[in-house]
Chains A and B, each alone.
Chain A
Amino acid sequence: EAQVTQNPRYLITVTGKKLTVTCSQNMNHEYMSWYRQDPGLGLRQIYYSMNVEVTDKGDVPEGYKVSRKEKRNFPLILESPSPNQTSLYFCASSWGSPMNTEAFFGQGTRLTVV
């Protein structure tokens, strides 16, 4: 089954404790991206990757890191999480950049930073 898998689905952590949210897709997609969803703001792009070893900043990259060492994986790293990073996070993948085709989204990771 074609899918984008995020882990964990739920996470509560403390300020400053490094964490990683994993994202994996099994569709051989080149393009992957991370979004955060906040009430009243919709989804905002954090980082995206056009291919292996190619990443770039989206709208709200501050406080986040990503890596793309393999085509299927695109982890999101919060080196020192802060309460304003409490949000619902989505990973997405597509054949090309979003304009070309539909994006497939993971089920989301709800992160709470206390």
Chain B
Amino acid sequence: AQKVTQAQTEISVVEKEDVTLDCVYETRDTTYYLFWYKQPPSGELVFLIRRNSFDEQNEISGRYSWNFQKSTSSFNFTITASQVVDSAVYFCALSLYNNNDMRFGAGTRLTVKP
């Protein structure tokens, strides 16, 4: 069975600090997809990124970057120069190729203080 672990329940940083949110996944499948979603205080879920298991290239999008390492089954998310608007709950999720279920981690609540 697949599982996603986000060990950091809450993180608090001061604006402009860099912060990394950890995501560790478990699956025996070789083909799978990993996701990050953001849930701001308003409650909706916002898609950030999707990565398939055959693409281990790191990705950068503005202040956001993602580090996918199959060797450690991790898909970590880094925010550079954090801003107050980054305050949210962030979810990592895993979806298998032959399965219609998406498994979410418990989420990490990030608070960025001014």
Contact = CB atoms under 8 A, between A and B. Distances in A.
Interface string A16-59: 00000000000000010101000011111100101000001011
Given A59-B101, A88-B43, 5 more contacts: A35-B104, A45-B102, A99-B32, A102-B50, A107-B44
A63 interface: no
A59 B3 CA distance: 12
A98 B102 contact: yes
Interface residues of B, number: 26
Counting from the closest, the 5 A-B pairs by CB-CB distance are A42-B104, A105-B45, A102-B47, A99-B95, A43-B104
Interface string B42-76: 11110100100000000000000000000000000
Interface string B21-49: 00000000000110101000011110100
Nearest to A92: B45
Interface of B: 4, 6, 9, 32-33, 35, 37, 42-45, 47, 50, 91, 93, 95-97, 99-102, 104-107
Nearest to B100: A97
A50 B14 CA distance: 44
Contacts of B44: 105-108
Contact of A103 (B47, B97, B99): B47
B101 A103 contact: no
B33 A99 contact: yes
B113 to A, nearest CB: 22
A43 B93 CA distance: 9
Contacts of A105: 37, 44-45
B105 A99 contact: no
A45 B43 contact: no
A90 B107 CA distance: 15
Nearest to A108: B43
Given A42-B105, A42-B107, A43-B91, A48 B100 contact: yes
Given A42-B105, A42-B106, A98-B95, A56 B100 contact: yes
A84 interface: no
